[in-house]
Structure 1
Amino acid sequence: MSPRLSLSTLADLPAAVARPAYDIAAAEVGVVHLGVGAFHRAHQAAYLDAILGRGHKGWAICGASLRSPDTSDALDPQDGLYTLAERSGAGDNLRVIGSLRRLLVAPRDPEALLAAMCDPRVRIVTLTVTEKGYCHDPASGTLDEAHPDIRADLASPQRPVSAPGYLVEALARRRAAGVAPFTVLTCDNLPANGKTVARVTARLAALRDDDLGRFVAGEVAFPSTMVDRIVPATTDDDRALVAAGLGLQDAWPVMAEPFMQWVVEDLFPLGRPPLEEVGVELVSDVEPFEHMKLRLLNGAHSTLAYLGYLAGHATIADTMAVPAFARLVARLQDEEVTPTLHLPAGVDVAAYKRALRERFANPALRHRTWQIAMDGSQKLPQRLVATARDRLAAGAPIPLLALGVAGWMRYVTGRDEQGNAIDVRDPLAARLKALADEAGPDATRLAPALLSVREVFADLGADPRFAGPVRDALARLMARGAAATVEEIAGG
C-alpha cells in the first residue's frame, strides 16, 4: 500500500494535483466550525483554503464533530489534509486542502471545543450540522424545548451536547471574560437561516438566564447565508480513484461538482476574511437567493430523491437520465416554483435552472437518492411546503409540489414498491412509521395521518387545497407506482 497523505508526503504529489499555496505551519485559526462533514470540507473549507493562499494567514479552521469521531480519526494521521476531487463529464481535478488545522471531537473533550470557541483570535463560528442539528421545530423555526439534547444542555450547561448548547455556553464564557462575541455563521439549509439560528440560540440562552438571552439577542451577529454545492457521500471507489491520482492514500477525500456558490449577508462586527477575493457574494439581503436555491435546487432534489428511489434509481443522475423525470423537474421549476420567487435585478433565473438540470444530470457524481432522502421531516417545510403555501396564497395549483410531498409520504412508510424494507433515516422515523402502519396502504387514510404531523406541515396539513392534491398524488403513486405516475404527470 502506498504512503498516506500528510505534511511529510505533500511534496511527493504529482504536479497535476493542486496543493496549498501557503505556509501551512504559519496559518492561524480564526474560525471554529461545528459539524465538520463532507459538505463543509468541499465548500467553506475550500473557500478559506483559497483565502489562506492569498496571504491572509489568520483564517484557518478548527473543525469539531459534535457526534462521530470518524472525520478526526481519518484526518488526524494526515495532519488535517484531505483531497477535494471535483468531478464532471470532462474529467477529475484533484486539490489538497490545508485550511483545516485542528480537529476536535466534542463528546471526547467538550472543554477543548469550548476553549477553542472562547479564544479571542476566533472571530467566527460556522456551522453545518444539518437541519436537525439545531433542535428546532422546522415548521415554526422555534426551539424545541422538549428536545432531549436541549433538556440535557439546560441540566448541565457546562457540558453541552447540542450545537445551540455549545454556542450559548461559549458566548456566556466569552462575555464573562470580557471577550467580544464571535459571529455565528450558519451554512445549513434553513429558511432565513441567520434569523432562525439567532431565535433558537437566544431562546436557549434565555431559558438559562434572562440577561444572557437579552445579550445573545442584542449583541451577537447571526448573518444569513446561502450555500450551494452538490457533495455526494464518499465511497470506497472514490478513495481508490483519489489514491490513483495522488499516488498516496487518503482515508477521507471529498467528492464534489465543479460548481460552488456562497452568498453571505455582510454582518461581521469582529471582522471577516476577504471573502469577495475568492468569489463569495456579499449582500445586504440573502433571502431572495435562499429562496431561489432552497426551492429550485433543494425542492427539486428532494422530489427526485423520493420518486427516483421508489422507481428504483440509485442516484440523481440515473433518475435524470429518464426523460419523464427530467421533464418533471423542468415543469416543477418553471410552473410552480419560479412564480414564487422575487429576485434582484440581474439574476438570470432561466440560466440558473438550466445549469441546475445539467448539474443534476452530471454522470460523474454518484449522489444517492437514499442520501438526499434522509431527514425529510426537517427538509420538507422549506423545500416544498413553503412553496406550496405561497402558491395557494396566490390561488395557483400545486400538482407537482403535491407529487413531491406524496413521494415523501410513500417513502416513509418504510416499504418500497416491491415490498422491501426502506432504511428511513429521519428524527421522526419511528413516529412516521407508526402513523403509516396504523393507516395502512390506503391514501385516504395515510395522507391525513401524515399531514397531521405539525412539525412538517403546521396548519397547512388541514387545508383542503393542500391536502386534496397530496392525497390524490399519493393514491396515484400507490396504485400505479412512481415511474408510471411521473410519466403520466410529467407529460410527453
Structure 2
Amino acid sequence: MSAITLTGRLSLATLAATAERPGVSGPAVDPRALSTGIVHFGVGAFHRAHQAVYTEDAAAATGDTRWGILGVTGRSARVAEQLGPQDGLYSVLTKARDSASLRVMGSMRRVAFPGTDTEDVLRTLAAESVHLASLTITEKGYPRTLRGGLDLGNAGVAADVEALKAELSGQGTAGAARTPLGLLARGLARRYAASGAPFAVVCCDNLVSNGGVTRGLVMALAEAAGAEGMLEWLGTAVTFPSTMVDRIVPATTEANRREAEQVLGVRDEGLVVAEPFGQWVIEDNFAGPRPAWERAGATLTDDVGVFEVAKLRMLNATHSLLAYLGALRGYPTIAEAVAAGGLVEEARRLQRDDIIPTLDAPPGMDLAEYGESILDRFANPNLGHTTIQVAMDGSQKLPVRILGTVADRLSAGEVPRSGALLVAAWMVFVYRGRDANGRPLVLDDPMAEALREAAAGSEAGLADRLLAVREIFPAEVADHTEFRAAVTEAVRRLLSEVP
C-alpha cells in the first residue's frame, strides 16, 4: 500500500473512518453498546489477543452486550496509557506464514492502573452487573511458598492482607493494592459486604490446576485476614474454573505498528500480534452468568486437566527447549531455532521419548500429530517470537513445564535425557549470559539475583549448584543420581558448544 497521511490515534472518534478502509475488520460489536461484566487482571498482549477476542465473538454471536471488559494492569501503567486515549480500542494483527489480517477490537471498555485506580477496581468487582474476574498475571504473579501455599513473607502479600482487614472492618479504602490477588481479594470482600452476589474467578495462566491454585491463594488471603464470613461465602458462592489457553502472541515491535498504521490509517499504540491458531478449554463451573464462549469456539468441559497437562508438557516445554538452545546458539527467534534441523530433532526427541509416555491423550487428540502441529506453528517466520521472550522467568516455568515430566519418568524407572537437556540448557543460559556469538543474553527472572549467585563458580559444579535451588527443583528430582548425572553431562556438552 502506498504511503498515507496519518490522522491521529485509533479511537471511537476515528473508528468509523478506520472501519471503511480495505483490510480492516471489526469491532464485531459496537463498543458503545457494551456494559462492563468482566474484570480482567493482567491486561497484556496475550489477553487482548485471546480471551478478549473470544468474549467479543461470543457477544457478536448472541447479541449479549453485558460482557465488556475492565482491564487491570500490573505494576506498570503502560497499557492504560496506551489504551486510555484510544477509548479501549486496539487491533490484532494476525500473521500466518503467507498472509496477514487486521481486526479492531472493542470488548476492552477501559483500563485501570492499581497504583491510582484501586478504588475503581474494587467498586467494579462489587457491582452486581459484574459476574466474572479473569487473570493472566503469569506464573510469577502467584505468590507461593515451596509447598504451594500463600507466601505471607512476601511484602506485597503482607501489605494486602492488612488492606483486606481494613476493607472487612469497613474502614474504607486502604490505598493501592500491592499484588493482583490482593486486589482481587479486596474486591471480593467488597462484593461480599455489598450483596454477596455469586461470582466466578477464571484463571488463564500456565499453572497445573490453575483454578484450584487461584482458589487456594484467595482463600488463604481471606483466612490470613480473619475473614470467617467471607471464607464461607467464597466456599459457597464463588467458583474458580480451571482453563487451558493457547495462542502464540509475540511481543509487538515498532515495525508491526508501522505495518498496522498503513492499513488502519491511524496509529494504534495498543496493537498486538498473534498467530492464526487459538484454543481455550474451560471448566464449566460458574456460579452465575457467563459469556457464551462456546459460541466463539471455546471448549466447555467437566475436565480441563487432561488438556491442560498435555499443553503444558507438549507445547510449553518444547517452546522452552527451543528458546534456551536457540538463544545459546545465537538464534534471535523461535522460528529460526526450528529451522535449524538439529534443534527441531531435539524437540521431537523430547516429545517422543520423555513427554508423550507421561500423558493421557485428550479426547480426539493424537499426541504425535499434536507435537508436529506445535512445531509447525513455531516455524511461522512472520511471528518474530524471540527466544529471549520465551526464555524469561525460567525459575517459574521449569517446574510446571518440564519437572513434572521428569518426576513421572523417574518414577517409571526411566531417565529423561531430553528433559535433562532442557534443564541443562536453562542452566547454561543462566551461567553464560551470552550466546555463541558473544552477544549478551538477558536473564529476566524474579529470582535473577539468587540464580546468578547460585551459578557463580566453576563449570564443573554448575549442575550441582543449580539443582540445589529448592525453590525450583524438588528433592526427588534434584537428588536422583542418574538424572543429576544426565544434567551434568548435558551441561558439560553445552558449555563446550558455547565457548
Q: For this structure pair, what is the TM-score category when the shorter chain's length is used for normalisation? A: over 0.9
Matches within 5 A, 1:237-316: 237-316=255-334
More divergent stretch after superposition (196-205 vs 377-386): 196-205
TM-score by length of 2: 0.93
Aligned position for 1:486: none
In structure 2, relative to structure 1, the CA distance for the partners of 1:119 and 1:210 (3 Å cut) is closer
Residue in 2 aligned with 1:156? Answer: 163
Residue 458 of structure 1: aligned partner: 474
Q: Which amino acid aligns with 2:442?
A: D
Identity over the aligned pairs, expressed in percent? 42
Alpha-carbon displacement from aligned partner over 1:302-360 (angstroms, at most 9, x marks no partner) = 11111110000000001001011111111111221111111244223233222111100
Partner SS for 1:102: strand
Task: Output the amino acid matched with 2:126.
Answer: C
Question: TM-score under structure 1 normalisation?
Answer: 0.94
Name which of structure 1's ranges 33-42 and 465-474 shifts more when overlaid on structure 2.
Answer: 465-474
CA contact (8 A) 1:435 1:450 kept: yes
Structure 1 distance, partners of 2:235, 2:470, is 27
Deviation at residue 214 of structure 1 after TM alignment = 4.5
Q: After superposition, where does 1:389-468 map in structure 2 within 5 Å?
A: 389-413=407-431, 415-417=433-435, 420-437=439-456, 439-442=457-460, 445-459=461-475, 460-468=477-485
Hey, what does 1:165 align to over in structure 2? 182
Distance 2:336 2:190 in 1: 50
SS in 2 for 1:282: strand
How far off is 1:12 after superposition? 1.6
Give SS of 2:102's match.
Answer: strand
Whether the 8 Å contact between 1:234 and 1:252 is mirrored in structure 2 is no
Q: Is residue 2:370 matched to residue 1:370? A: no
Q: 2:167 maps to what in 1?
A: none
Aligned-CA RMSD value: 1.6
**TM-superposition CA deviations, 1:179-207 (whole Å, max 9, x none):** 32421101000111011111111112111
Q: Is this contact kept in 2: 1:314–1:370, CA < 8 A?
A: yes
3-state SS in 2 of match to 1:15: coil
Check if 1:5 corresponds to 2:10. Answer: yes
The ranges of structure 1 where at least 4 consecutive aligned residues each deviate by more than 6 angstroms after the TM superposition are none
- Kindly state the Cα deviation for residue 220 of structure 1 after the two structures are TM-superposed: 2.1
Measure how far apart 1:262 and its partner are. 0.1
Q: 1:350 aligns with which of 358, 368, 384?
A: 368
Moved more, 241-250 or 426-435: 241-250
Aligned-pair CA distance for 1:218: 4.7
Shift of 1:256: 0.3
Q: Is 2:139 the counterpart of 1:131? A: yes
Distance 2:370 2:268 in 1: 34
Task: Measure how far apart 1:25 and its partner are.
Answer: 1.0
Moved more, 355-364 or 410-419: 410-419
1:476 shift after superposition: 1.1
Quote the Cα distance in structure 1 between the aligned partners of 2:494 and 2:45. 33
| Partner amino acid, structure 1, of 2:97 | G
Q: 2:498 aligns with which of 476, 481, 485?
A: 481
**d(CA) in 2 for partners of 1:130 and 1:295?**
17
Once the two structures are TM-superposed, the CA of residue 18 in structure 1 deviates from its matched residue by 0.7
AA aligned to 2:213 is T
Q: Is residue 320 of structure 1 aligned with residue 320 of structure 2? A: no
Three-state SS of the structure 2 residue aligned to 1:314 is: coil
**Local SS of the residue matching 1:466:** helix
Deviations 1:364-411 (A, max 9, x none): 110011011111101000101111111111112211111001111111
Matched, 1:335 2:353: yes
Secondary structure in structure 1 of the residue aligned to 2:300: strand
User: What letter is aligned with 1:164?
Assistant: L
1:70 alignment partner in structure 2? 78
Are positions 1:61 and 2:65 aligned together?
no
Q: What is aligned with 2:220? A: 203
Change (3 A) 1:287 1:140: farther
In structure 1, runs of 5+ residues without a counterpart are 483-492
The Cα offsets for residues 15-57 of structure 1, whole Å up to 9 and x where unpaired, read as: 3211113222111111000010000000001111112222110
Matched-pair contact (CA < 8 Å) for 2:327–2:388: yes
Letter in 1 for 2:248: I
Gaps of 5+ in 2: 165-173
Query: Which of 115, 118, 121 is equivalent to 1:107?
Result: 115
Amino acid at match of 1:70: R
Q: Give me the whole-angstrom Cα distance separating, in 2, the residues matched to 1:280 and 1:254.
A: 21
Select between 108-117 and 456-465 the one with higher mean Cα deviation.
456-465
Q: Is the 8 A contact 1:263 1:283 kept in 2?
A: yes
